[in-house]
Amino acid sequence: MGRLEGKSVIITGAGSGIGRAASLMFAKEGAKLIVVDRSDSVQETAKLVGNAGGTIEAVMADAGSESDVKGFVDRAVSKYGRLDAIWANAGVSGGLVPLLDQTVEHWQEILRINLIGPFLAIKHSMPHMIAQNYGSIVCTASVAGLKSGASGHPYAASKAGVISLVQTTAYSLSGTGVRINAVCPGLIETGMTKPIFDRARERGTEAKIGQLNPLQRNGEPSEIAEMALFLASDGASYVNGQAMVVDGGLSSSHPVARSGKAGTRL
């Protein structure tokens, strides 16, 4: 049996990148899925999973809209009879806008999707999970929420907020049998980060992508999906209130200057 055999799972931001990789992986492990994205690319994700024999339904919705979130949570419960796990994965980067050029509206939209979205996923999935005394909530944060230097200001603030939301919610869920954790990806090639990779390829500097972490490479969407799969599964039954970092070691150190010799530093 798979690690999610027979479990009802929602994944947001499933139209591409990490969400699509997770949809394929979770379905292979036996999950019955509701996949969500505001882009119609979520239909392609559902087609890929369905063609591979998975049980799935695609929903076009805005993860930062309360009525939409309530709708897709209720849909999962109606279709599959329960909700065992939800991964609030949808997010936007906001770009690298200089601080003095940032607007309130820019901040509000990033926070609406990246932070209020996970809050809404928690709010509307909690009652169903508490009623069954079982459930796992996973939220996508980022290494940008741990330290500076990985993103623009509003994105970093939103992801720091996700980590705090996960930690505080873990105690709000005390005694309910419901767990909540965050995944903190490093540099992963997705639709959101595509411009970074495209610019590097245009300049001929693709080999330098990820050079600051000890593995000296970028991550793949499937490597983040693996962590979320673990957190959603019973294999993580004693993991709760944590921010699990998957970044090749980037956040394990203060910045250092490397010499040209492999394995050494100045």
pLDDT per residue of the chain (266 residues) written in tens, 0 to 9: 799 999 999 999 999 999 999 999 999 999 999 999 999 999 999 999 999 999 999 999 999 999 999 999 999 999 999 999 999 999 998 888 899 999 999 999 999 999 999 999 999 999 999 999 999 999 999 999 998 877 889 999 999 999 999 999 999 999 999 999 999 999 887 666 666 666 766 777 667 666 778 888 878 999 999 999 999 999 999 999 999 999 998 888 866 555 555 544 44
Give the per-residue pLDDT at 212. Answer: 78
Are 141 and 163 in contact, with CB atoms under 8 Å apart?
yes
CA–CA gap between residue 98 and residue 157 (Å, rounded): 15
Q: Does residue 134 carry a catalytic annotation?
A: no
User: pTM for the complete prediction?
Assistant: 0.91
Q: Which of 53, 43, 46, 42 is nearest to 14 (CA)?
A: 42
Are 148 and 91 in contact, with CB atoms under 8 Å apart?
no
DSSP 251: G
Cα separations (Å) of 46 from 15, 50, 179? 9, 6, 27
Instruction: Label the pairing between strands 135-140 and 178-185.
Output: parallel
Q: Which of 31, 38, 30, 32 is nearest to 12 (CA)?
A: 38
The CATH code that applies to domain 8-190+220-246 is 3.40.50.720
Give the per-residue pLDDT at 266. Answer: 41
Q: Where are the domains of the chain?
A: 8-190+220-246
- Which one of the listed residues 80, 134, 155, 171 is annotated catalytic? 155
